[in-house]
């Protein structure tokens, strides 16, 4: 079997890739739906993989892996890796999890990121209203992750929040020393949510990047009474191309509140310092940014050896990303907590994909399906109308 083409189309903002072969088996992958600009980056790798056997996943990845980087520039490589596993599974007639060593669980827990309703003033009352609405969803999620502080509009909309400059541009660009007023307000929002949810729902916070280390210590210590699952990306994280392991370790050693980071990181080598120094309690690589699903599995196993938990990122990964997360998370060791549930950014996605359960999440779990490869496929005739101009031949 040989790769005959690598294609990329933008559907609803998401770069969708298709790898074709000379035996008629195709594989699909995707990047987050925020990253439509990645199409030329995906196609950059085309000539590097044409003619190779896609079922030799590692051999193909050795050709392109070194050409990626921290988020968002590892996404193209990661999407290709997922598509290769899709082909390998289909060729073998097996779900991907079988090719990764087999599943250790029949269903995988997922958590919900709760920025699903407008919160224009970022007050404790709005935070409570938001989480109580989501608590009534039929999926019955048992873990909520709430964006807050520098990972939310709070840093801009709350008067006198920090001594830093207000930056309305960029991705999570606000950073600075917090005022006493800003710190008190943030802790009040946490306390209000926790009181409303009680102990039956785990609460995690997506916090930055943006905290200074001293403020991170104060905030983490103030959160200790609330038994949070983790504080995510306080110092560095989303769209920052470095790790700051020593700073995270210094904060971690001064609090019992678990710290989390890793969604922006690319490849296992960049997790070594974070894991070996035990700088955080939880890591959260995204399979569509870290280099793929096999890369994530290796990192999870290495983290388990060091007593570090795993909660993979995935909110913008769409339905192909959801399938990839289900397959790999079924194989992870017991340090796995839950994966971040990917949302489809348009309702029509559920009308053009076959293979997903009628209700995907039940009581916070997704049942692991057994169909070959990713176990999903496009309803091509229905999907074609969502292709952008210039991509009309994507499914041909």
For the chain, 396 residues long, the average pLDDT of each consecutive 10-residue run is 98 97 98 96 98 98 98 98 99 98 98 94 97 97 98 93 87 92 98 97 97 98 98 97 97 98 98 98 98 98 98 98 98 98 94 96 98 98 96 96
pLDDT at 172: 86
Pairing of strands 3-11, 14-21: antiparallel
- On whether both 69 and 218 belong to a single domain, the answer is no
pLDDT at 171: 85
- On whether both 46 and 133 belong to a single domain, the answer is no
- On whether both 222 and 290 belong to a single domain, the answer is yes
- On whether both 44 and 140 belong to a single domain, the answer is no
Structural domain harbouring 236: 99-374
- On whether both 184 and 297 belong to a single domain, the answer is yes
pLDDT at 169: 81
pLDDT at 357: 94
Coil, strand, or helix at residue 254? coil
pTM flag (> 0.85): yes
CB atoms within 10 A of CB 101: 10
- On whether both 26 and 40 belong to a single domain, the answer is yes
Q: Is residue 245 part of a domain?
A: yes
Give how far Cα 269 sits from Cα of 135, 244, 294, Å.
38, 14, 14
pLDDT at 64: 98
Around 339, how many Cα atoms within 13 Å sit in the side-chain half-sphere? 33
Total tally of structural domains belonging to the chain: 2
Q: Is residue 396 part of a domain?
A: no
- On whether both 42 and 123 belong to a single domain, the answer is no
Cβ-contact 281, 311 below 8 angstroms: no
Give how far Cα 73 sits from Cα of 44, 265, 283, 318, 377, Å.
12, 10, 19, 18, 26
Q: Which of 112, 101, 84 is nearest to 1 (CA)?
A: 84
Helix (H) or strand (E) holding 27: strand 27-30
pLDDT at 194: 98
Cα angle 384-76-285, degrees, rounded to a multiple of 5? 115
- On whether both 35 and 129 belong to a single domain, the answer is no
Q: Is residue 358 part of a domain?
A: yes
Rounded CA Rg of the chain:
21
pLDDT at 102: 98
Cβ-contact 311, 80 below 8 angstroms: no
How many residues does this entry show for the chain?
396
349-381 as b/e: b if 16+ CB within 10 A: beebbeebeeebbeebbbebbebbbbbbbbeee
- On whether both 280 and 174 belong to a single domain, the answer is yes
Cα–Cα distance measured from residue 147 to residue 360, given in angstroms and rounded to the nearest whole number: 24
The whole-angstrom distance between residue 61's C-alpha and the CA centroid of its chain comes to 21
- On whether both 202 and 263 belong to a single domain, the answer is yes
Angle at which helix 213-222 crosses helix 180-197, to 10 degrees, equals 30
Cα–Cα distance measured from residue 344 to residue 383, given in angstroms and rounded to the nearest whole number: 14
CATH no. for residue 333?
A: 3.20.20.120
Q: Is residue 391 part of a domain?
A: no
């Amino acid at each position: 079997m040989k790769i005959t083409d690598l294609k990329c189309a933008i559907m609803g903002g998401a770069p969708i890739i298709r790898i074709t072969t000379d035996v008629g088996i195709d594989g699909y992958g995707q990047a987050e739906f925020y990253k439509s600009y990645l199409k030329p980056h995906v196609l950059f790798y085309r000539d590097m993989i044409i003619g190779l056997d896609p079922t030799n996943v590692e051999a193909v990845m050795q050709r392109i892996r070194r050409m990626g980087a921290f988020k968002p520039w590892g996404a193209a490589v990661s999407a290709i890796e997922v598509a290769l596993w899709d082909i390998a599974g289909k060729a073998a007639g097996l779900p991907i999890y079988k090719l990764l060593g087999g599943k250790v669980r029949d269903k995988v827990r997922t958590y919900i990121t709760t920025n699903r309703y407008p919160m224009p003033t970022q007050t404790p009352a709005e935070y409570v209203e938001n989480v109580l609405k989501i608590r009534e969803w039929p999926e019955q999620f048992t873990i909520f992750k709430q964006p807050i502080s520098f990972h939310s509009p709070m840093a801009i909309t709350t008067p006198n929040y920090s001594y830093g400059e207000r930056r309305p541009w960029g991705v999570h660009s606000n950073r600075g020393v917090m005022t006493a007023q800003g710190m008190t307000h943030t802790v009040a929002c946490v306390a209000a949510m926790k009181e409303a949810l009680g102990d039956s729902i785990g609460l995690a916070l997506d916090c930055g990047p943006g905290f200074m280390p001293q403020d991170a210590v104060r905030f983490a210590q103030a959160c200790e009474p609330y038994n949070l699952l983790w504080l995510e990306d306080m110092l560095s994280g989303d769209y920052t191309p470095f790790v700051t392991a020593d700073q995270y370790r210094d904060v971690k050693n001064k609090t019992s509140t678990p710290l989390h980071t890793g969604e922006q990181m690319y490849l296992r080598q960049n997790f070594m310092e974070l894991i070996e120094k035990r700088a955080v309690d939880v890591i959260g690589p995204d399979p569509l940014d870290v280099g793929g699903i096999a890369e994530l599995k290796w990192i999870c196993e290495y983290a388990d050896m060091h007593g570090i938990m795993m909660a993979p990122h995935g909110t913008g990964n769409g339905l192909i990303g959801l399938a990839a997360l289900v397959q790999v998370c079924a194989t992870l060791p017991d340090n796995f907590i839950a994966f971040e549930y990917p949302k489809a950014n348009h309702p029509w996605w559920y009308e053009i994909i076959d293979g997903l359960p009628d209700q995907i999440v039940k009581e916070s779990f997704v049942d692991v399906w057994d169909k070959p490869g990713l176990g999903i496929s496009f309803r091509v005739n229905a999907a074609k109308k969502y292709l952008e101009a210039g991509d009309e031949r994507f499914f041909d």
